[in-house]
Structure formats: structure tokens, C-alpha cells
Amino acid sequence: MRVAIIDDERLARNELRRLLDAHPEVDVVAEAACVADGLHAIRHMAPDLVFLDIQMPDGSGFDLLAALEQAPAVIFTTAHDQFALKAFDANALDYLLKPIEAPRLAQALQKRSRDAEPKPPKPNDGKVFMQDGERCWFVDLEQIVLFESEGNYTRVYFDNNRPLLLRSLSQLEERLDPQHFMRINRRHIVNLRFVREVGPSPAGGLVLLLEGGLNVDMSRRRAVEFKQLKRL
């Protein structure tokens, strides 16, 4: 298991590395002391798991995750338990309070090992991290119903949430599985798993009724592709 440690406190990094030495399956491939260096380490070393401090001089661990194209598995580390609830709202893998205790670390690693059991690969495997005000989410791409362009941002629809993501629709489209996600017009990408009904639109395209009661128009050109895909 390839691990990165991102924490502005050198002593905290050293202590965590010492504790991880007791786990031969763990290989610490990167360390960083700030958000900027942490981003560089994750992008270049591609760790399986990141131990991530929440408060750092140039931003927060949440800021770091929001800047990544794809969020890695994360165990938050913090000396402040008031951040724990926020971390779990983000569906983080786990969190550890400092000073970190060896049994608690072992428990978190065991949980990671269970979650990382081999599964059939999918082109759109992965999670996206979003922050909207005080709320944060880790969301599996396959759980997202609809992406809607709002300039340089994209509004993401899942469950009853609609946060904005600082990504353009074109950037997101590049990493989505075309077997399950389709660009239906200039502003929308839909998850085809959540299409419940299809009907004609006055403009000659189609109207898709999505799970949750969302209605979106499909352009005439995309409607031809959709009918071929679905053999309508």
C-alpha cells in the first residue's frame, strides 16, 4: 500500500512514519508539509492512501482535495475533534486524533485494506471531492445523476445535494465512462443509469426524466446518438 503523509508538523510526520514502520504492507512514498507540496506529491506519486492534516499554513486538507481531479482514499489526522464530524460528512475513510495511537492506526489501516479488496475495474472508478460552504462530500462518480455547466463551474446533482464544483463540464467529461455518462447538450451530462423516462421535445430532440424528478432536454443531434445507443 503506497502512502503519503501530508502534515505541516515535522514531529507529527516523523511519529506517524515510525508507527507505520510496524506495518510492512505500507510503503511511505511521499511526505509534504503544506497544501501546495501535498498536491504535487499526490499528482506525481499517486498514493493509494493519504494521511492528511486538516489545518495547514497555506490552506486546509479540504482545500487540497477540492483541487484534485480525483480524490484519493484519505485518513484525516487532526488535533481538533471538532473537525471530525465535517470529515465524516465528507465520507472520509477515517480520521485519527493526534497524538495518534498505534491500535487506532492499525484499525484505520485494516478498514482501508477491506475497502481496497480487488474489484473488476471500471473506467469511471473513483470519487470526486466537493466543498460548498461548510459542507463537504466524497462522492462516487456512479452515484451522480446529472452534471450541469455554470460557466467555469459545474453543478453536481446527487441524492438531494447540488453543490458547485470548480471544474468545467469539458474537464469532467474527459474522465467519465461514455458507456454510462452522455453529454446531451452544451450544458448537461447525464448518468444514463438514472434515466427513468424518455419523451419527445418540441424542438425535435428528447426530454429525459431522471431519478428525483429532474427533466432535461436532449439536443436533436444527441437524440440521434441516444436512440442508436438505446435502440429506440
Is residue 52 a contact partner of residue 92, using CB atoms and an 8 Å limit? no
* Confidence at residue 47, expressed as pLDDT on a 0 to 100 scale: 95
Bridge partners of 97, per DSSP, are 78
Domain of residue 173, CATH code: 2.40.50.1020
**Mean pLDDT of each 10-residue bin along the chain, 232 residues long:** 96 97 97 97 95 92 87 86 64 81 94 66 64 80 95 93 91 89 96 95 93 94 85 50
- Looking at residue 71, what DSSP letter applies? B
* Cα–Cα nearest to 35, from 11, 4, 56, 12: 56
143 with 198, same domain? Answer: yes
Report the alpha-carbon distance of residue 215 to residue 21 in Å, rounded: 53
108 with 205, same domain? Answer: no
7 with 76, same domain? Answer: yes
| Domain with 108 in it | 2-115
Domain of residue 22, CATH code: 3.40.50.2300
108 with 169, same domain? Answer: no
pLDDT per residue over 17-35, tens digit each? 999 999 999 999 999 999 9
* Confidence at residue 85, expressed as pLDDT on a 0 to 100 scale: 58
121: in domain? no
Query: Average pLDDT, whole number, for the chain?
Result: 88
* Confidence at residue 124, expressed as pLDDT on a 0 to 100 scale: 46
35 with 74, same domain? Answer: yes
Question: CB count, 10 Å around CB of 31?
Answer: 19
148 with 44, same domain? Answer: no
* Confidence at residue 66, expressed as pLDDT on a 0 to 100 scale: 86
130: in domain? no
- Could you tell me how many helices (H) and strands (E) the chain has, helices first? 7, 17
Cell numbers describing residue 76: 484525516
The structural domain count of the chain equals 2
pLDDT per residue over 164-208, tens digit each? 998 899 988 988 999 899 999 999 999 999 999 999 998 889 999
Peptide bond into 120 cis (omega under 30): no
Backbone angles phi, psi at 61, to 5 degrees: -60, -30
Global pTM reads: 0.78
* Confidence at residue 123, expressed as pLDDT on a 0 to 100 scale: 44
51, with CB counted inside 10 A (0-12, 13-18, 19+), is buried
Out of 115, 149, 170, a domain closes at: 115
* Confidence at residue 31, expressed as pLDDT on a 0 to 100 scale: 97
Bridge partners of 207, per DSSP, are 199, 217
